[in-house]
Structure formats: structure tokens, C-alpha cells
Chains A and B, each alone.
Chain A
Amino acid sequence: MSAATRINDFVIKIATVNGTGSASANTLLMKSIFRSGIPVMGKNYFPSNIQGLPTWYEIRVSKDGYVARSGKVDIMVCMNAETYARDVREVAAGGYLIYDSTWPRPALLKRDDVTVIGVPLARLCNENFKGVRTRILMKNICYAGVLAALLDLDVERIRELLAETYAKKPALIDSNMQAIQLGYDYAKANYTCPLPLRVEKMNSTAGHVMIDGNTAAGLGAVYAGATVAGWYPITPSTSLMDAFKSFADKLRIDPETKRANFAFIQAEDELAAIGMVLGASWNGARSFTATSGPGISLMNEFLGLGYYAEIPAVVFDVQRVGPSTGMPTRTQQCDLLAAAYASHGDTKHVCLYPANPEECFYMAVQAFDLAERLQTPVLVLLDLDIGMNDWMCRDLKWDDSYVPDRGKVLDREALEKIDKFYRYLDKDEDGIPYRTFPGVHPKGAYFTRGSGHTQLGTYTEDAVEYQRVLDRLLRKFATAKRLVPKPVIERDTRNDAAIVSIGSCDGAVREALDMLAARGVRLDYLRVRGFPFGEEVEKFLEEHAVVYVVEQNRDAQLRSLLTLETRVEKSKLRSLLHYSGLPVSSAFIVDGVLADRAEGRRAVAGEAS
């Protein structure tokens, strides 16, 4: 069977075993496509394991720049016998199946509607390489060579990438290229190359990078001027801290003194990590941590202290599948409520919701500004998909005129001038008091506590005094509404239905909107980027009769937040919930919206008859 020609518009999925070097092969493939100027997405579905379990990598090539999952697989590379059966089932009709033909393929998994391409990868590598480990690694590089031939990929791009990767180990460049060539030549000799599905050079990736959100956020923390990082390892947030450390090791070592202009502290647990962040921020250093859901659970107590004692802190929550330990290497947006209301008592937190690595970089900086301006913890909610997958984004830019917003801090001069300093007075009527740092001036001393306190900063159990502070915190939260990033809105005044979504759903929603429009269903779109929700969100919700809320969790957490924190009428919010642990696809959203509308029509028809 063969399909119609499709240039730069298909999905490859590669099934391998983790710990066999397949990640290098997959990155190589994806990056060589990116360097050919073609928009591409790469997503890694990996196990919580070091070696031996099934792992998949999905590459989507999209001339139109759609970089979310489409929900369809056109070419499946089956390198894992264990998952062979389900992998074969997943290929779309008219698609291709590439497998290692060294050993016979189980006949029961035969499909007539896909083209099967067998390549004796193991045999080729066994004949040409020595050593068990090398043979396994090269087998994976070899399928990249097969794909290069089938898809008409420029082998020069691959050679160039290998040369950069192994600049310090030239022998590896040759052996990897040999493996590429083996696969490439075999495919050329035995199959009609290229396939109808193939790539063709474009010029759509200039001014773009392929970067993951954790790296971008770590880099953002460096540019924001963060100096104290307290953290505890947890998937999928660890690489954010690794990125910060590795950038800081390069960019933050004083050229003259060789001293490190940052402190990087691996804590004993998440409780200590957030404690360190609060201690450092209280003392005037920009400080942050990164964690995931289980860490947020542990940090609750201190987040409440940060809220009530009004201490800045930046927490990156790279969300993973819950509840409990859940699936640590799979993605979800399941901490929306836990983050917004972390800790006992009346607490609410400022949250930012980046949709991609580019926003991770800028929002990291914004988070520090907001935390210090508002004197409160700010949680930046990434998810595993954003944090650990490479996304194609516009080049990150930095404006050297940036000045950190340190908020209302009284320095030595300011303290010298005033008569007396009171920590929690609302002098400017925006709910935000002034703060001081230890050691600056005798007049700056005050007492920080999580117990009841007056606006003067003294201990209290007095009803009126206690309430005065608690009410001011609400005023501060109202101020936060104006300061958090505005939602992104795509609005056409003729539409009365819309999609509201958050974070990493963005790519899939945007593609779904186009697909729906092509079918005559036109929807507006709002993506929330900050909590508390501002007036723009209120207005948008008011202006639409039906709002599809697209999010990646079971319990409609975004919908709950919207109903709790805006005036929206609950019944007009309709949930499209994706919570399998895989990133949401555009097809899922299209199907959901169409199904709802069909039901709506049936209901209307029912009424009429």
C-alpha cells in the first residue's frame, strides 16, 4: 500500500528500550530536520527507570508549524519486541512500519493496510561493530540512517550534528556515521527511496531554537539575578536545577576572584529546600527552588508561612502525573488547585502558567519581580511536556536595560530618614507593606512570624488586629490581579463560543482551532497566563455563551479555579479533560468540541420535535 505524497507533514514514532542510546539517535533525527529549516516537534515518552523498559519518541514534522501532538502516527519504528503488538496497532492506515528483520516478525501482527519495511539492523551492526554495548547503541543510530534514506533527509546535516556532539571524541563521529551509512545504504538498495512521506528543505526555523522548558527556566533564573538556589531532586524538575547550576558555573564565576556569585544548595528534602528559599529571600537574595507535585505537597507548610509573613519566593513546579507518586515521567496539569491554595488556612498564591520554553524564560524573570513586588511566594507551573521536551521556540532575547523590581525595600538612606519602621503597615493602600533586610540599619529591625501579628509587626491574638492584616492580604491579592501576565486572547466578535485553556495545551488548541474552523466551527480562544485572574478573563468569560475549558487533569481544576475566582456562570463552562499522561493532541480537542456540538444539536432538535 502506498499513500499520497505528503511533504513535511507526518509523524514518526520510535519504540525502543530505554538505556540503549536511542535518545541520541532520536535527537539526531529531530535536530537534522530542524536544521533543514522544517518546523518539528520531538516528544519523549519515557519510563521512570534507568535501563530496560519501553520508551517511545515521537517526531512530528509540520510545514505549518503545528508542534503539538496530532494524535496520529504515520511511520512507526519498532525496535522493541516487547511493545511490538501495540506499536503495530497504532500506525495509521496507509502508514509505514519499520522493524528489525534480523529475526522473523510474529505473523499474527500482520497488517495489510500499512507498508512494512524490514531492515536487518542487528545483523548489519553485528557484522560491522565489535562489543555488545556498541552493537546495541549502533543499532539505534542505524535506524536513523534508514529514516534518512526513506525521508530524503540530508545526511550532511546528520554528519554536522555528530561532529558538534562528539567534537572531543572524533572516533565516535566516524563510528556513528558508519552506522548511519549502513542503514542509509540498505534502505536505498532494498526500498524505493524516498517514501511519499518525506522532508524537503524549508526556511521556517531561522530565528528559532529547540530548547526544553527546564533549561529555559533555569537560564531565566540566572538572568533574573537569582543568587540562592535550594532544591531537592525530583523528576521532572531536576534538569531545571541542573541547567541553573551549569549556566551559573559558566556565567556567574567572578572573572577576577574566581568566586561563585551564587549558592547552590542541595537540601535534605523539599521542606528544607523551600525553607532555604524563604530564609534567603527574607534576607534580600533572589532565591528559588524547583520541584514537582509531591514536593509541592511537602512545601505546603512553608508556603503558608511565606504567604502570611510576606516573604518572596519563586517555586517552579514542573507538574507530573498524580495522585501520590503517580507516574513520575508522564505529563499532567494536575497541581493547579494545589498550587493556587497551597497550605492550611486562608492562603492563595500567585501562579504563572507558561505554555512553552520561551515563556518559561521570560516568566522566570517575571516571577522574581512579582515575588519581590508582592512579597509573596510565586509558583511557576510548568509540566513535564514543557519542562523536558525540546520545543521549537523563537530565539530568547534579553534586554540589557532590565532592572530587577526589588519591590518596596527600605535601604539605609530611607531608614535614616524615617522616624520608625513598621513592617506590615499599608502605607500606599495597595496592600503591599515595606520591608527591610537585617544588618542594614538599627531602625530596620522587626520580627517575622507565622503566628498572629498586628500591622506593626507585633504578636497578637486580638480579633481586630488579626483581621486587619488578613484583610490587607486580600487587597494585596487584588493588586496582584493587575500585575500578573495578561491572558493571550484570540477574539472575533462574531463568535459566541470559545476555548479557554492553560499552559502546554496551547499548541494543540491552536491547531484544533484551525481544524475546527476548516469544518466551519469558529471559536475564540483565551489562554490564562497568571493567577489571580484579571478583568480580561472575567470579560472574556462574560462575552461567551459556551466556553470549552481544555486542560490536562481529571478533575477540571482550571474550571474549578475559574468558577471559584471569577463571576462566571458554572454551567457554561464545558470541560475537555485529557489526563492519560501523554501530552494532549489536537485531534482530542477537535473530537471533543465536535461531539459536544453534535449533542447540543441533538438536544435542540429534540426540543423542536
Chain B
Amino acid sequence: MTFIPKPKVTHPNLPRNELGLTRRDYEGALSTLCAGCGHDSITAAIVEACWGISAKPENVVKLSGIGCSSKTTAYFVSGGHGFNSVHGRMPSIAMGANAANHRLHYIGISGDGDSLSIGLGQFCHAIRRNLDMLYIIENNGVYGLTKGQFSASADVGTKAKKGEVNHQPPIDPVLLALNLGAGFVARSFSGDKRQLVPLIQAGLSYKGFAFIDVMSPCVTFNDHEGSTKSYAYTREHMEPVVEADYVPFAREIVADYSPGEALPVMMHDGSRVVLRKLATDYDPTDAHKAHAYVQEHLARGEHLTGLLHCRPTEDTEFHGLNRTPDVPLNELPYAKLNPGAATLGKLLARYR
């Protein structure tokens, strides 16, 4: 496997965003994943979303751990800064990077292997710190790079390619995120770009920890009959309950929603997300109710999708709590950091 840059073909009539960039400007290297991999569809959705919100490519920080999903940071926004770290430890890199400069878009791409086993601790603590980032788990229930072992998100009774049955209960990252207090929790399906793109855009605009669990079938090791993470099974069992329309800053809401159904949520950057409930008994603003509802449906084998929970959490976002300045820490001039020789002299009095 080698690094293959995508040949750049620019069509004069390609649509351009507010920065004058085309979708092609948000692409990355050629994917080396298997043909038909769900992850590639997510990559395409990220490209679309970043283009759509006119993110400056150099302001996009793409972070990942290890695994098939983690490779994908190389496949979008080649003008951004990528960081492919170590297995399960991406959240700590994101935390440090964000502490140094809070003005960038942090997109963490992880997998069920990366986040729900070795990385479970760091995933949980990133949520607890309300780290301002978009965290996507490309969830396929299987370890692809090591050829098909069950991951911690594999459902009870699901069958591996070679026939082995999983008996251990799965860890559901959506329930976990809701439980730990994440303010933005979504689930989607790699095959549903219409749902996924606005979710990514909303997640990028959300101030705080935005989490999207994307069911993303592994065509090579987990797309067979008996698997609960196959394309066929997922399509059959997913049930959208909330639709989210992303409305960029300063753009009017054009769609016509009947009152009671539409719930606009203002994002930190002035953009809005309009939630439309497809299930009337669902309340996406209450984390406890959302948790119960999702859990209830999971027990019935139904994967609810959409922006399952959204509430503002700016007050507990890391920088707010720590009273760091508006100027990123990495831009503070040394003169502001040096207490000076005279101060040192005074400090020493305590040690005599």
C-alpha cells in the first residue's frame, strides 16, 4: 500500500462555497480501504459537510487512532492537518491540541475497536471534559485490519464470517455518550448521506463534545447473513426518529415546518440546526428520556438514527471552565508568560 494522491481535475463549472473552493478542494488521498467500505461513504459525507460550511482547510484538524476508520483522516481535506496517533488514544491528542488552540475544527475519526475497547477510557473522559470536537465512530462491529475478530460493539448472537457466534453484550457508544452527559449525540448510517451530512455540519458547529455513531458496514468481514452490522440488516433495522437540517449562519430557514414539529437549535457559530421529530413521542432535548427511548428500542433490535440528543453545553466546555483567554494559548507572546527576574527574587523570600 502506498500513498496515492488523487489527480486533481478541476471542472470550471463546479459549484464553489463562500471561500471559492470546490468540493474537490476538500478531498484527500485515494482511499485504500476495500471497495464498498462504509467508511468511504462517511469520508464523502465529511468532504461534503466541510465544503458546505466553508471550513478553511488549514483550520481543519483531523485526528485518529489506529484501525481502518483511523486511516480515513488521510482521505479527506488534504489541506488540513492530520494526526494519526496510537490505538485508542486519539482523544488525549485532541485534548492537548484543543487546549493549545481552541479556534480550529477538530474532527476525530475512530472505530468501534479503537474507541470501545482500548480507547474506552479516553473516549469517556473526552466527554467528561466536554472537549470541543466532532467525534465520529465508524462502527462496523468488527476488527477489519486484523481480519474479522468481534469488536465490543458486536451484538449478542451476531455471527462472524467463519460462523462463530458472539455471546458478550455490546457496548453502545450512543447510550454511553448520553449517560456521560454529552450534549450532542447522534446516530446515523454510512449509506444515508442525506441524514449524515447535516449531522456532521451541525457537529462541527456545536460548541462542546459532538458525537456521531455511524453504522458503517465492513464489506469484507461483516456483511454476511447472520451479521447485525451488514448493509441489509442495518437498512432493515434503522429507524430515523429525528431529522436535523443544518442552516448555516445568516441564511434564512427556507423549509416550511409546522410548529411543534420543528425545533431550531442555535449553534455557537451562529448557525442553526432544525430538528424535526419523526416520532412524536421522542424528546431530543432531554438526555435521560433520550437514553431510555434509545435503550428501549435497542432491546427490540431497532437502531434509532438522527440527532438523538442536542442541548447547549457551552458553560461546561473545557476552555470556559478553565478561563483560558480568547487568544489561543499557542499564540500568547512569551512576554505574557514570563513572570520576570524581579518576581523571582521576591518569590525566593519564601524559601529562606
Question: What is the 8 Å Cβ interface bit string for chain B, positions 61-93, against chain A (1 contact, 0 not)?
Answer: 100000000000110001111111110010111
B147 interface residue, CB < 8 Å from A? Answer: no
* Cα–Cα, bound, A276→B98 (Å): 9
B325 interface residue, CB < 8 Å from A? Answer: yes
* Cα–Cα, bound, A447→B63 (Å): 10
B100 touches A279 (CB 8 A): yes
B338 interface residue, CB < 8 Å from A? Answer: yes
* Cα–Cα, bound, A252→B58 (Å): 30
Q: Which of B237-279 contact A (CB under 8 A)?
A: none
A442 touches B122 (CB 8 A): no
Partner of B341, one of A280, A397, A445: A397
A268 touches B122 (CB 8 A): yes
A19 interface residue, CB < 8 Å from B? Answer: no
Chain A nearest CB, measured from B186 CB (Å) = 24
A262 interface residue, CB < 8 Å from B? Answer: yes
A434 interface residue, CB < 8 Å from B? Answer: no
- Mostly, the B contact residues are helix
Q: Which of B125-157 contact A (CB under 8 A)?
A: 125, 129
Question: What is the 8 Å Cβ interface bit string for chain A, positions 383-405, against chain B (1 contact, 0 not)?
Answer: 00000000000011111101110
Partner of B339, one of A34, A222, A287, A403: A222
Using a Cβ–Cβ cut-off of 8 Å, how many residues does chain A contribute to the interface with B? 78
B97 interface residue, CB < 8 Å from A? Answer: yes
B96 interface residue, CB < 8 Å from A? Answer: yes
User: Which residues on the B side are within 8 Å of A279 (C-beta)?
Assistant: 83, 92-100
B298 interface residue, CB < 8 Å from A? Answer: no
Partner of A438, one of B61, B121, B329, B336: B61
B336 touches A285 (CB 8 A): no
A263 touches B99 (CB 8 A): yes
Q: Which of A246-301 contact B (CB under 8 A)?
A: 247, 251-252, 254, 257-265, 267-269, 271-285, 287, 301
Chain A nearest CB, measured from B233 CB (Å) = 33
A283-B330 CB under 8 A given contacts A438-B81, A450-B86? yes
B324 touches A260 (CB 8 A): yes
User: Which residues on the A side are within 8 Å of B79 (C-beta)?
Assistant: 442, 445
B322 touches A263 (CB 8 A): yes
Chain A nearest CB, measured from B87 CB (Å) = 8
A448-B82 CB under 8 A given contacts A259-B325, A262-B329? yes
B344 interface residue, CB < 8 Å from A? Answer: yes
* Cα–Cα, bound, A247→B340 (Å): 13
A269 touches B121 (CB 8 A): yes
* Cα–Cα, bound, A269→B88 (Å): 13
A251 touches B93 (CB 8 A): no
Partner of A459, one of B2, B56, B95, B318: B2
A219-B329 CB under 8 A given contacts A230-B96, A302-B86, A448-B84? no
Partner of A447, one of B56, B82, B122: B82
User: Which residues on the A side are within 8 Å of B323 (C-beta)?
Assistant: 258-260
A272 touches B103 (CB 8 A): no
Chain A nearest CB, measured from B2 CB (Å) = 7
A438 touches B104 (CB 8 A): yes
Among residues of A, the one whose C-beta sits closest to the C-beta of B333 is A225
A588 interface residue, CB < 8 Å from B? Answer: no
A419 interface residue, CB < 8 Å from B? Answer: no
User: Which residues on the A side are within 8 Å of B332 (C-beta)?
Assistant: 227, 261
User: Which residues on the A side are within 8 Å of B84 (C-beta)?
Assistant: 447-451
A263 touches B324 (CB 8 A): yes
A305 touches B3 (CB 8 A): no
A287-B96 CB under 8 A given contacts A227-B332, A261-B337, A438-B81? yes
* Cα–Cα, bound, A450→B217 (Å): 27
Question: What is the 8 Å Cβ interface bit string for chain A, positions 355-397, against chain B (1 contact, 0 not)?
Answer: 0000000000000000000000000000000000000000111
Q: Which of A210-264 contact B (CB under 8 A)?
A: 210-211, 215, 219, 222-223, 225, 227-228, 230, 247, 251-252, 254, 257-264
A446 interface residue, CB < 8 Å from B? Answer: yes
A398 touches B340 (CB 8 A): yes
Partner of A225, one of B3, B92, B318, B337: B337
* Cα–Cα, bound, A283→B82 (Å): 11
Among residues of B, the one whose C-beta sits closest to the C-beta of A443 is B58
B101 touches A438 (CB 8 A): yes
User: Which residues on the A side are within 8 Å of B11 (C-beta)?
Assistant: none
Chain B nearest CB, measured from A195 CB (Å) = 27
A544 interface residue, CB < 8 Å from B? Answer: no
Partner of B3, one of A227, A257, A459: A459
B57 interface residue, CB < 8 Å from A? Answer: yes
B338 touches A450 (CB 8 A): no
B82 touches A275 (CB 8 A): no
User: Which residues on the B side are within 8 Å of A437 (C-beta)?
Assistant: 101, 330
B337 touches A252 (CB 8 A): yes
A398-B344 CB under 8 A given contacts A261-B332, A275-B89, A439-B101? yes
B9 interface residue, CB < 8 Å from A? Answer: no
User: Which residues on the B side are within 8 Å of A450 (C-beta)?
Assistant: 84-86
* Cα–Cα, bound, A117→B161 (Å): 82
B337 touches A227 (CB 8 A): yes
Chain B nearest CB, measured from A288 CB (Å) = 11
A275 touches B96 (CB 8 A): yes
User: Which residues on the B side are within 8 Å of A285 (C-beta)?
Assistant: 96, 99-101, 329-330
B352 touches A268 (CB 8 A): no
Chain B nearest CB, measured from A231 CB (Å) = 12
A-B contact pairs, 25 of them (CB 8 A): A34-B352, A222-B337, A228-B99, A228-B329, A247-B339, A257-B325, A259-B326, A260-B325, A271-B89, A272-B92, A275-B95, A276-B92, A276-B99, A277-B96, A280-B329, A282-B93, A287-B100, A302-B86, A439-B56, A441-B58, A448-B83, A449-B84, A459-B3, A459-B74, A460-B3
Ranked 5 nearest A-B pairs via Cβ: A279-B96, A275-B92, A285-B100, A276-B96, A280-B96
